Amino acid sequence: GENVEQHPSTLSVQEGDSAVIKCTYSDSASNYFPWYKQELGKGPQLIIDIRSNVGEKKDQRIAVTLNKTAKHFSLHITETQPEDSAVYFCAAAGQGTYKYIFGTGTRLKVLA
Amino acid sequence: DAGITQSPRHKVTETGTPVTLRCHQTENHRYMYWYRQDPGHGLRLIHYSYGVKDTDKGEVSDGYSVSRSKTEDFLLTLESATSSQTSVYFCAISPGTGDGYTFGSGTRLTVV
């Protein structure tokens, strides 16, 4: 069935370093790829998204890249700060579908 | 979370009792969703709604029912709670398919 694999499950980086989280999807019809950040005790919050007609998107220190041929997409966080510590989820969805498939999450720890 | 409220935030209930969780939105979004979040499983879709009185099942719908009598309210009912339904439940809204979700703050449900 449709699946989204997310790696790594945990990631520790020093403050100021970069962090990269990778997701692979199985449904070639997927065309929308959002990323969510979840802080402790809160609901996930959309931080960036990308559609299949774009290869890369940036928003300040956050960027997402998409490789449709390989069916994977990645979240890049540069100059990490302690407030970036959270759980990050990727997701994939097909056009016109309610059906988002979420990855299992990456717990990012930024060490001061 | 702005525009979406879940209640209650925490609930402890006994096995075999019915439980209703409420999601209320002020964004007038068409789509509303119920997810459960469990360690190692990420976010899994229980039910969703694409309009008033229009609902459909997600991947883990057994033991759950939903109702949407008004645009702003989406109710999730556990017909006869079981320990396997101990989880954190999130409601989400979106203006359309292929759009990012806004999540509520979640309801932590414990079935004893």
What pLDDT was estimated at residue A45? Answer: 96
**Rounded Cα distance, A84 and A37, in Å:** 9
Judge whether residue B107 has pLDDT over 90.
Answer: yes
What pLDDT was estimated at residue A2? Answer: 77
- Answer yes or no: do B90 and A44 touch at CB < 8 A: yes
What pLDDT was estimated at residue B2? Answer: 64
| Segment A23-61, tens digit of pLDDT | 999 988 899 999 999 999 999 999 999 998 889 999 999
HSE toward the beta carbon, residue A65, CA cutoff 13 A: 9
What pLDDT was estimated at residue B49? Answer: 95
Chain A CB within 8 Å of residue B74 CB: no
Q: How confident is the model at residue A96 (pLDDT cuts 50, 70, 90)?
A: low
> Measured between CB atoms, which of A45, A49, A104 is closest to B42?
A104
With CA atoms as reference, the chain A residue closest to B94 would be A98
Token pair in block for residue A19: 């962090």
CA distance to partner chain B, nearest, from residue A96 (Å): 5
- Answer yes or no: do A95 and B33 touch at CB < 8 A: no
Judge whether residue A111 has pLDDT over 80.
Answer: yes
Contacts of B25 in chain A (CB under 8 A): none
User: Under a CB-based contact definition with an 8 Å cutoff, are residues B17 and B49 in contact?
Assistant: no
| Segment B52-74, tens digit of pLDDT | 999 999 989 999 999 999 999 99
- Answer yes or no: do A98 and B101 touch at CB < 8 A: no
Judge whether residue A99 has pLDDT over 90.
Answer: no
Chain A CB within 8 Å of residue B13 CB: no
Token pair in block for residue B53: 């009185």
Portion of chain B with pLDDT greater than 90, in percent: 88
**Rounded Cα distance, B59 and B80, in Å:** 19
> Measured between CB atoms, which of A34, A46, A103 is closest to B42?
A103
| Segment B11-39, tens digit of pLDDT | 999 999 999 999 999 999 999 999 999 98
- One-letter identity of residue B27: E
Q: How confident is the model at residue A1 (pLDDT cuts 50, 70, 90)?
A: low
Chain A CB within 8 Å of residue B39 CB: no
